[in-house]
Amino acid sequence: MANNNVAGVLNFRDATRMQAKASILIEGLSGRGKSGLALLLAYYLADKSWKDVYSIDTENKSQDLFEGVTLSTGVKCEPFKKVDLLPSHGYAPSNYLLCKDNAVESGGKVLINDSITHMWQQKGGILDLVNQVQAKDGKRYNNYTAWGEPTVLAEKQAIYNTIRDARIHVISTVRVKERFEIKDDHTLASLGEQEMQMPDLKYEPDLVLSMEKPGAMNGTAPVARVIKSRYAILQEGEIYSFTEKLIESLVEYLQKGTDPAELLEKQRVEYVNTIKKILDEDVSKKTMFPMLKEQQGYKDVKLTDLPLEALQALLGILLA
């Protein structure tokens, strides 16, 4: 006999494609225009409404300097909502999450995290927290095991949750530094730029941009190289001028051309392939991996079948 209560809610509806929320990371050296590009993207993603743009400013209130400034597309930067995250608050990822939740509850359409470098290596950030754990119980925790301490794991997971959200577009900036190595002849050789964040962060956002040139009030568009993209409209390795036309095309693509579930599955597959490569290249880590899976509660689950959250935790441990 049919359950009338259930039958009343199991109604057919038209198939519809959900709109994806942006998860964008902009990296670059200081002064390269990360904040400017973030604000420009945020304005268009917020349907050209400054009042719907929210921002977490960790850069000594630097975003206040943009008020009244004409951006490269000719748009004047009007007041937007921002919170100044200071050393007195601490830069724990969970603090960023509180700010993000407040933005969502207030009706914000876009959140800018400027910058997320602080949640990694400043007061209250992950590296600071690891040091605190070791200082408190050095016999139990060393440089490796401290990363598995529950508080550290929870804050590290909060980083992932900070830079993407199904409820709001998220744009994050991150500082980079140039890495060097000493060659056999004792000269320095550049190894390129490296994000000042956790090593596996690049697998989280759907779009990673590296700043080449900042935009200007005279109409010169900001220029950035695409480091990673799950958006068909932007190709990895290519350099783009972020003109109004390109930004509006990106907004339209997110509204019509991509599905959040597809993006998350692409992300999960990237994690699987990365872990496979690490295990193939490092016998000791391959030997240890079954134990790590068991610790995460997935003893008998194949690597290819692991959920995203478990893959995030496992890759973090392998790269620690």
pLDDT confidence bin for 12, thresholds 50/70/90: low
Domain identity same for 130 and 239: yes
For residues 93 and 182, state if they share a domain. Answer: yes
pLDDT of residue 150: 86
Same domain for 310 and 170, yes or no, is no
How confident is the model over 238-244, as a mean pLDDT? 93
* Domain stop point among 217, 236, 258: 258
Q: Is residue 48 scored above 70 in pLDDT?
A: yes
| More confident call, 46 vs 270 | 46
320 and 244, same structural domain? no
For residue 123, tell me if it sits in a domain.
yes
pLDDT tens profile 156-200: 888 889 999 999 999 999 988 655 455 666 555 544 555 556 777
**Domain annotation covers residue 237:** yes
Q: What percent of the chain has pLDDT over 70?
A: 85
Residue 5 lies in a domain: no
Q: Which of 229, 258, 287 is the last residue of a domain?
A: 258
- Domain shared by 267 and 247, yes or no: no
pLDDT at 74 over 80: yes
Residue 272 and residue 251 in one domain: no
pLDDT for res 193: 53
Residues 269 and 238 grouped into a single domain:
no
pLDDT at residue 78, as a whole number: 94
Same domain, yes or no: 64 and 97: yes
Domain count for the chain, please give it. 2
pLDDT, mean of residues 79-92: 92
Same domain? For 142 and 270 the reply is: no
Q: Check residue 222 and give its pLDDT.
A: 93
What is the CATH classification number for the domain harbouring 147? Answer: 3.40.50.300
Q: Does 146 lie in the same domain as 62? A: yes
Per-residue pLDDT at 242: 94
* pLDDT tens by residue, 112-156: 999 898 888 888 888 898 888 888 877 777 777 787 788 888 898
Specify if 6 maps to a domain. no
**Per-residue pLDDT tens over the stretch 196-233:** 567 777 778 999 999 999 998 888 999 999 999 989 88
Q: So what's the pLDDT on residue 197? A: 60
Q: Which domain holds residue 30?
A: 17-258
Domain for residue 150, yes or no?
Answer: yes
**pLDDT the model gives residue 178:** 55
Angle at 223 between CA 110 and CA 166, to 5 degrees: 25
Evaluate whether residue 152 is within a structural domain.
yes
Task: Assign 3-class secondary structure to the chain.
Answer: CCCHHHHCCCCCCCCCCCCCCCEEEEEECCCCCHHHHHHHHHHHHCCCCHHHEEEEECCCCHHHHHCCCECCCCCECCCCEEEECCCCCCCCHHHHHHHHHHHHHCCCCEEEEECCCHHHHCCCCHHHHHHHHHHHCCCCCCCCHHHHCHHHHHHHHHHHHHCCCCCCEEEEEEEEEEEEEECCCCCEEEEEEEECCCCCHHHCCCEEEEEEECCCCCCCCCEEEEEEECCCCCCCCCEEECCHHHHHHHHHHHHHCCCHHHHHHHHHHHHHHHHHHHHHHCHHHHHHHHHHHHHCCCCCCCHHHCCHHHHHHHHHHHHC
Residues 130 and 254 in one domain: yes
pLDDT greater than 90 at residue 4: no
Q: Does 26 share its domain with 148? A: yes
- Minimum mean pLDDT range among 24-28, 108-112, 267-271: 267-271
Nearest partner of 162 among 113, 208, 227, judged by Cα: 113
Would you state the pLDDT for residue 190?
46
Query: Does 8 reside within a domain?
Result: no
pTM above 0.75, yes or no: yes
**Is 65 among the domain residues?**
yes
Which of 233, 258, 283 finishes a domain? 258
